[in-house]
Chains A and B, each alone.
Chain A
Amino acid sequence: MEAAAELFARRTYDGVSIDDLVKWVGVHRNSLYGVFGSKRGLYLAALRRHIDQDVRPHLARVARSEVALTWDLLLLAAVDRAPDDSEVAELVSSVFVELDQAAGDPGVTEALLGRWLRARPDVERHRETVSDRGVPFEHDALEMAPGKEI
């Protein structure tokens, strides 16, 4: 289950095939169907496990500090699966409500999600690539601000 959660956290739901799961998780295809019924069944089980073990125990700590989120599966589920799967939407929404309550301010949740997006390695790589093409990002813009001593 942990291995499946790791794979689902790296790719979109449609980007993960049963072949990928069989290889990555190391289970027989028949066993996967026998236990979980379908890819969606495995996905929901992995998401629930992630929420129960990786997210909920750390809500209060995350809400209080500047730590970076490592909740890729939850956050990918929010953007990738929640629009198409009401059960996923319900799970994700309940966690965000709990995070709002732990932080005492929905703005803190929004700031955390913003930091997570900006800290993702892919985003960082993209920033470097675009920056190389001469498109300024915020820090570049500050460097070029009028009146700033260089």
Chain B
Amino acid sequence: MAVVSVQGQDLVVEMAGLDKLWALKSRLTIPLANVRGATVDPGILGDPKGIRAPGTHVPKVITAGTFHHEGEKVFWAVRDAQKAVVVELADENYTRLVVEVDDPRAVVAMVEKAMSR
């Protein structure tokens, strides 16, 4: 589970509990100017994820860490597909983040509102 918040001009994604360990990352800070959008997307978990490096992938249990797929670098931290949110980035180390959050619709609304400020 990740906790997503807007702090000043940044989007902050913090891993909660053991997900820090599985994802090998505890916190990501992205300038809002580099956030292109956020989307609730349970179906993305069914797509190919590419090569894990480094991270954890136990099919149907957890996908966490950095994955390389078709030239894109994607950060994953998802157990429950129904709570997956995709955050698309520009000019960042990661092309996109796919994270599990407590309330996907609320997170998407928060990101969209922050982007329009």
Contacts and interface: CB of A to CB of B under 8 A. Distances in A.
Interface in B62-107: 69-70, 72, 86, 88, 95-96
Interface string A1-45: 000000000000000011100100000011001101111110000
Interface centre among A33, A34, A39, A41 (most CB of B within 10 A): A33
Contact of B39 (A39, A86, A87): A39
Q: For the side of the interface on B, what is the size category?
A: 20 to 34
- Main secondary structure, interface of A, reads helix
A36 B39 CA distance: 11
Contacts of B43: 17-19, 22, 29
B38 interface: yes
Nearest to A19: B43
B39 A40 contact: yes
Contacts of B72: 30, 34
Interface residues of A, number: 16
Contacts, number: 50
Contact of A38 (B36, B47, B95): B36
B47 to A, nearest CB: 6
B86 A87 contact: no
A2 B21 CA distance: 44
B39 A29 contact: no
B31 interface: no
B27 to A, nearest CB: 23
Which 6 residue pairs of A and B lie closest in terms of their CB atoms, listed nearest first? A38-B37, A37-B36, A37-B37, A19-B43, A38-B39, A39-B39
Interface of A: 17-19, 22, 29-30, 33-34, 36-41, 86-87
Given A18-B44, A33-B86, A38-B36, 10 more contacts: A17-B41, A18-B41, A29-B41, A30-B47, A33-B39, A37-B37, A38-B86, A39-B41, A40-B112, A86-B116
28 contacts: A17-B41, A17-B42, A18-B39, A18-B41, A18-B44, A18-B86, A19-B43, A29-B47, A30-B47, A30-B69, A30-B70, A33-B37, A33-B86, A33-B88, A33-B96, A37-B36, A38-B36, A38-B37, A38-B39, A38-B112, A39-B37, A39-B39, A39-B41, A40-B37, A40-B39, A41-B37, A86-B116, A87-B116
